[in-house]
Protein backbone atom coordinates (compact mmCIF):
# COMPACT_ATOMS: atom_id res chain seq x y z
CA UNK A 1 0.00 0.00 0.00
CA UNK A 2 1.37 3.42 -0.96
CA UNK A 3 1.51 5.90 1.95
CA UNK A 4 -0.51 9.08 1.71
CA UNK A 5 1.57 11.96 0.35
CA UNK A 6 0.53 13.82 3.50
CA UNK A 7 2.44 11.25 5.56
CA UNK A 8 5.70 12.25 3.86
CA UNK A 9 6.63 15.28 5.97
CA UNK A 10 9.80 17.07 4.86
CA UNK A 11 11.04 19.71 7.32
CA UNK A 12 13.12 21.35 4.57
CA UNK A 13 9.99 21.98 2.47
CA UNK A 14 7.01 22.00 4.86
CA UNK A 15 5.73 24.36 7.54
CA UNK A 16 3.39 22.91 10.17
CA UNK A 17 1.00 24.36 12.72
CA UNK A 18 -0.29 21.68 15.11
CA UNK A 19 -2.50 22.27 18.10
CA UNK A 20 -5.32 20.64 20.05
CA UNK A 21 -8.32 22.98 20.11
CA UNK A 22 -11.39 22.75 22.31
CA UNK A 23 -14.00 22.55 19.55
CA UNK A 24 -15.30 19.46 17.76
CA UNK A 25 -14.00 18.51 14.31
CA UNK A 26 -17.44 19.17 12.75
CA UNK A 27 -17.22 22.82 13.85
CA UNK A 28 -13.65 23.26 12.62
CA UNK A 29 -14.72 21.66 9.34
CA UNK A 30 -17.69 24.01 9.02
CA UNK A 31 -15.41 27.01 9.58
CA UNK A 32 -13.04 25.78 6.86
CA UNK A 33 -15.67 24.89 4.27
CA UNK A 34 -18.37 27.58 4.54
CA UNK A 35 -17.50 30.75 2.59
CA UNK A 36 -19.44 33.05 4.95
CA UNK A 37 -17.49 31.63 7.90
CA UNK A 38 -14.09 31.71 6.13
CA UNK A 39 -14.62 35.44 5.66
CA UNK A 40 -14.78 35.87 9.45
CA UNK A 41 -11.48 34.22 10.42
CA UNK A 42 -9.19 33.36 7.45
CA UNK A 43 -6.99 36.50 7.57
CA UNK A 44 -5.11 37.61 10.70
CA UNK A 45 -6.80 40.73 12.07
CA UNK A 46 -6.66 43.60 11.25
CA UNK A 47 -6.59 42.05 7.75
CA UNK A 48 -9.96 40.86 6.43
CA UNK A 49 -11.38 38.56 3.78
CA UNK A 50 -13.72 40.44 1.45
CA UNK A 51 -14.57 37.54 -0.89
CA UNK A 52 -14.58 33.76 -0.69
CA UNK A 53 -15.63 31.02 -3.08
CA UNK A 54 -15.42 27.33 -2.25
CA UNK A 55 -16.55 24.54 -4.57
CA UNK A 56 -16.02 21.64 -2.17
CA UNK A 57 -14.92 18.87 -4.52
CA UNK A 58 -11.66 17.78 -6.13
CA UNK A 59 -11.05 20.23 -8.97
CA UNK A 60 -13.29 22.84 -7.34
CA UNK A 61 -12.32 26.41 -6.53
CA UNK A 62 -10.82 27.64 -3.27
CA UNK A 63 -10.63 31.41 -3.78
CA UNK A 64 -10.27 34.27 -1.33
CA UNK A 65 -9.53 37.98 -1.49
CA UNK A 66 -7.67 39.32 1.52
CA UNK A 67 -7.63 43.03 2.31
CA UNK A 68 -4.87 44.83 4.13
CA UNK A 69 -5.71 47.44 6.78
CA UNK A 70 -4.94 50.03 4.06
CA UNK A 71 -7.57 48.49 1.77
CA UNK A 72 -5.23 46.78 -0.72
CA UNK A 73 -6.71 43.57 -2.19
CA UNK A 74 -4.75 40.31 -2.41
CA UNK A 75 -6.64 37.68 -4.43
CA UNK A 76 -5.71 34.03 -3.96
CA UNK A 77 -7.06 31.40 -6.35
CA UNK A 78 -6.57 27.70 -6.03
CA UNK A 79 -7.91 24.24 -6.62
CA UNK A 80 -9.23 21.74 -4.11
CA UNK A 81 -7.37 18.44 -4.36
CA UNK A 82 -8.93 16.30 -1.63
CA UNK A 83 -12.03 16.44 0.54
CA UNK A 84 -12.62 14.00 3.40
CA UNK A 85 -15.45 15.54 5.44
CA UNK A 86 -14.48 16.48 8.99
CA UNK A 87 -11.01 14.94 8.49
CA UNK A 88 -8.99 16.45 5.68
CA UNK A 89 -9.04 19.34 3.21
CA UNK A 90 -6.20 19.74 0.72
CA UNK A 91 -5.93 22.63 -1.73
CA UNK A 92 -3.22 24.30 -3.77
CA UNK A 93 -2.48 27.50 -5.62
CA UNK A 94 -0.33 25.49 -8.06
CA UNK A 95 -3.57 24.68 -9.87
CA UNK A 96 -6.64 26.71 -10.66
CA UNK A 97 -10.17 25.26 -10.63
CA UNK A 98 -10.57 22.34 -13.00
CA UNK A 99 -6.92 21.37 -12.37
CA UNK A 100 -5.64 24.10 -14.72
CA UNK A 101 -1.96 24.98 -14.06
CA UNK A 102 -1.38 28.29 -12.31
CA UNK A 103 1.25 30.75 -13.51
CA UNK A 104 2.87 31.35 -10.12
CA UNK A 105 2.40 28.47 -7.70
CA UNK A 106 3.45 28.98 -4.09
CA UNK A 107 2.23 26.10 -1.90
CA UNK A 108 -0.22 23.33 -1.18
CA UNK A 109 -2.18 23.38 2.08
CA UNK A 110 -3.32 20.30 3.94
CA UNK A 111 -5.63 20.73 6.91
CA UNK A 112 -6.06 17.55 8.92
CA UNK A 113 -8.54 17.12 11.77
CA UNK A 114 -8.59 14.27 14.29
CA UNK A 115 -10.98 13.99 17.24
CA UNK A 116 -9.15 14.32 20.54
CA UNK A 117 -11.30 14.15 23.66
CA UNK A 118 -14.06 16.74 23.23
CA UNK A 119 -11.84 18.72 20.88
CA UNK A 120 -9.76 18.40 17.73
CA UNK A 121 -6.13 17.79 16.92
CA UNK A 122 -5.63 20.41 14.21
CA UNK A 123 -2.70 20.04 11.83
CA UNK A 124 -2.21 22.58 9.05
CA UNK A 125 0.67 21.91 6.73
CA UNK A 126 2.00 24.25 4.05
CA UNK A 127 3.90 22.17 1.48
CA UNK A 128 6.41 23.99 -0.74
CA UNK A 129 8.32 22.94 -3.85
CA UNK A 130 11.72 24.12 -2.63
CA UNK A 131 13.48 25.38 0.50
CA UNK A 132 13.39 28.97 -0.79
CA UNK A 133 9.58 28.91 -1.01
CA UNK A 134 9.38 27.47 2.50
CA UNK A 135 11.75 30.14 3.83
CA UNK A 136 9.78 32.90 2.10
CA UNK A 137 6.51 31.69 3.62
CA UNK A 138 8.10 31.39 7.07
CA UNK A 139 9.53 34.93 6.77
CA UNK A 140 6.05 36.19 5.77
CA UNK A 141 4.94 35.10 9.25
CA UNK A 142 3.47 31.63 8.65
CA UNK A 143 3.56 30.53 12.30
CA UNK A 144 2.26 33.78 13.77
CA UNK A 145 -0.31 34.43 11.02
CA UNK A 146 -1.70 30.91 10.81
CA UNK A 147 -1.72 30.76 14.64
CA UNK A 148 -3.75 33.99 14.84
CA UNK A 149 -6.14 32.65 12.21
CA UNK A 150 -6.58 29.40 14.14
CA UNK A 151 -7.38 31.41 17.29
CA UNK A 152 -9.96 33.36 15.27
CA UNK A 153 -11.39 30.12 13.83
CA UNK A 154 -11.74 28.60 17.32
CA UNK A 155 -13.44 31.74 18.71
CA UNK A 156 -15.89 31.65 15.79
CA UNK A 157 -16.48 27.88 16.05
CA UNK A 158 -17.44 28.26 19.72
CA UNK A 159 -20.38 30.40 18.59
CA UNK A 160 -21.74 27.92 16.03
Inside any domain, residue 129: yes
Inside any domain, residue 40: yes
The CATH number assigned to the domain holding 45 equals 3.30.530.20
Inside any domain, residue 10: no
With vertex at residue 150, the alpha carbon angle to CA 55 and CA 102, rounded to the nearest 5 degrees, is 40
Inside any domain, residue 105: yes
pLDDT tens-digit readout, 105-132 = 899 999 999 999 999 999 999 999 999 9
How far is the CA of 36 from the CAs of 20, 50, 64, 145, in angstroms?
24, 10, 11, 20
Residue 8 confidence (pLDDT):
72
Inside any domain, residue 82: yes
Residue 2 confidence (pLDDT):
47
Inside any domain, residue 26: yes
Task: Give the residue ranges of DSSP H helices in the chain.
Answer: 25-33, 35-41, 131-139, 142-157
Q: What parts of the chain have a pLDDT lower than 70? A: 1-7
Domain span at 85: 15-157
Inside any domain, residue 3: no
Q: Kindly provide the residue ranges of all beta strands, DSSP E only, lying in 87-147, ordered along the sequence.
A: 88-92, 95-96, 100-101, 108-116, 119-127
Q: How many domains does the chain have?
A: 1
Inside any domain, residue 95: yes
Residue 7 confidence (pLDDT):
62
Amino acid sequence: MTPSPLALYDPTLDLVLERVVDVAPRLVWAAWTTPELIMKWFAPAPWTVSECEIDLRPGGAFRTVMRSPEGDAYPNSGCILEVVPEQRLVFTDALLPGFRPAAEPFFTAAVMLTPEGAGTRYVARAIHSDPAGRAKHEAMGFHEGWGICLDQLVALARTL
